[in-house]
Amino acid sequence: MCIACEVVRINGMLCHETGCPEAWKDYARECAWCGADYRPTYREQNCCSTECAEAYYGLPEGSVDPADYAA
């Protein structure tokens, strides 16, 4: 459930109210590196996996916390 809005049920799917600041969690994004669709686990996330984030930001392998990219 959402702490920021009244979650409503539409066709059996839970949806955030329009304009809810937490609604980004419900929408897939395109990975900035490989182009795959993924569900972000935090708001500023722009890559689908640690591998993509490391490649995109030019970081050494293993430097990105996998917890940030848990499905």
Residues of this chain that interact with Zn ion (CB under 5 A) are: 2, 4-5, 16, 20, 22, 31, 33-34, 36, 48, 52
Cα–Cα distance measured from residue 2 to residue 29, given in angstroms and rounded to the nearest whole number: 20
Provide the minimum distance between the beta carbon of 36 and Zn ion in the complex, in angstroms, as a whole number.
5
Nearer to Zn ion, 20 or 29 (CB): 20
**Are the C-beta atoms of residues 41 and 48 closer than 8 Å to each other?**
no
Helix, coil or strand: residue 52: helix
Tell me the closest approach of the beta carbon of residue 22 to Zn ion, in angstroms. 4
Closest to Zn ion by CB, 48 vs 64, is 48
CA angle 50, 47, 64 (to 5 degrees): 30
